[in-house]
């Protein structure tokens, strides 16, 4: 059974969804944003960043705030860092909740989510929608970002299947951002997986890859968080094809997924679905258990 009730977290008014295994805090006064995620009564797995800001000349400061958010790619300050600090509309929708943001100005973009929590399992279905309510076509890709507390390890699988019958063509691609040092002690790459340890005291790194496996994970406090997002081999992805990405700094680590890029005419929309699964130690899915032995 899923309970839905009003609450507060980190000074924000929230709507809480809860079953016997999982608890979500969805902010009402900013967003859309999931600010809290607790597994079986444990601590909040997500980062809360009340004092962090991002500044660009000629723009208001952007506050990441922590938790889970939705951006549109590519990362362009004038578009990406439009503040999401206005109240949202939250209403029942099917077996879950619909969260609707005001139309952004001046882009004309509107973001909305449908969030549903499984009756019993620690499983969340999260549908992100970006619609073009403006007057001009816009090219973008949905970009779903989840910020976690540091101290754990992020896991990004690499493709192992061949792209041709003879194994002569390249089948793996790793994408690096300019501030990422290949010899970073927090970054490890082997034949099957990329891992990032969220123990940095300064600096940052970011790494990504095309992800046919369709999942990316983070293990923290004997808990495994898995987010699943479908990968379309025929679609075009931004950021050199990196459909899954990991960003790590000293205060948080992010698991990010991209949807395919496309052009939205006025009135059109695009969806991007994530499935979240949370597991206790010793109860991991087999595909991740196998990889865990390699790092």
Domain count, the chain: 1
| CB contact at 8 A, 31 and 14 | no
Structure-model confidence comparison of residues 295 and 206, the more confident one: 206
Q: How far apart are CA 255 and CA 145, in angstroms?
A: 6
pLDDT value at 134 more than 90: yes
The encoded tokens of residue 51 equal: 């004092």
- Output the CA angle 200-206-211, nearest 5 degrees: 125
List, for residues 54-68, the tens digit of each pLDDT value: 988 888 889 999 999
pLDDT at position 23 is 98
CATH code for the domain in which residue 187 is found: 2.70.98.10
pLDDT at position 95 is 84
- Indicate the pTM of the whole model: 0.97
Cα→Cα distances 131→49, 50, 143, 275, Å: 28, 28, 13, 21
Q: Write out the residue range of the structural domain in which residue 171 sits.
A: 3-292
List, for residues 232-252, the tens digit of each pLDDT value: 999 999 999 999 999 999 999
The encoded tokens of residue 25 equal: 């805090």
pLDDT at position 217 is 98
List, for residues 23-41, the tens digit of each pLDDT value: 999 999 999 999 999 999 9
Q: How far apart are CA 246 and CA 255, in angstroms?
A: 5
pLDDT value at 88 more than 90: yes
Return the percentage of the chain with pLDDT > 90, whole number. 89
Give Cβ neighbours of residue 235 (< 8 Å, ≥ 6 apart).
260, 261
Compute the mean pLDDT over every residue in the chain, rounded to the nearest whole number.
Answer: 95
3-state class (DSSP) for residue 212: coil
């Amino acid at each position: 059974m899923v309970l839905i009730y009003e609450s507060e977290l980190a000074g924000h008014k929230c709507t809480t969804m809860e079953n016997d295994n999982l608890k979500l805090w969805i902010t009402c006064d900013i967003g859309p944003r999931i600010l809290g995620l607790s597994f079986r009564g444990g601590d909040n797995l997500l980062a809360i960043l009340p004092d962090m800001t991002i500044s660009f000349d000629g723009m208001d400061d952007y506050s990441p705030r922590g938790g889970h958010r939705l951006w549109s790619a590519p990362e362009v300050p004038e578009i990406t860092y439009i503040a999401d600090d206005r109240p949202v509309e939250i209403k029942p929708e099917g077996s879950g909740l619909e969260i609707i943001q005001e139309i952004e100005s001046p882009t004309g973009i509107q973001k909305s989510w449908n969030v549903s929590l499984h009756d019993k399992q620690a499983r969340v279905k999260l549908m992100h929608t970006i619609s073009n309510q403006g007057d001009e076509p816009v090219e973008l890709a949905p970009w779903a970002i989840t910020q976690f507390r540091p101290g754990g390890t992020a896991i990004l699988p690499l493709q192992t299947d061949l792209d041709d019958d003879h194994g002569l063509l390249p089948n793996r691609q790793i994408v690096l951002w300019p501030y990422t040092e290949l010899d970073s002690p927090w970054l490890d790459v082997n034949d099957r997986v990329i891992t990032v340890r969220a123990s940095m005291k300064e600096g940052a790194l970011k790494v990504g890859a095309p992800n046919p496996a369709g999942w990316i994970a983070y293990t923290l406090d004997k808990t495994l968080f898995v987010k699943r997002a479908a990968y379309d081999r025929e679609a075009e992805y931004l950021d050199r094809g990196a459909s899954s990405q990991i960003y790590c700094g000293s205060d948080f680590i992010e698991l990010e997924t991209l949807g395919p890029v496309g052009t939205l005419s006025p009135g059109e929309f695009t969806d991007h679905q994530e499935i979240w699964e949370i597991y206790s130690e010793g109860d991991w899915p087999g595909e991740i258990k196998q990889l865990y032995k390699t790092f």
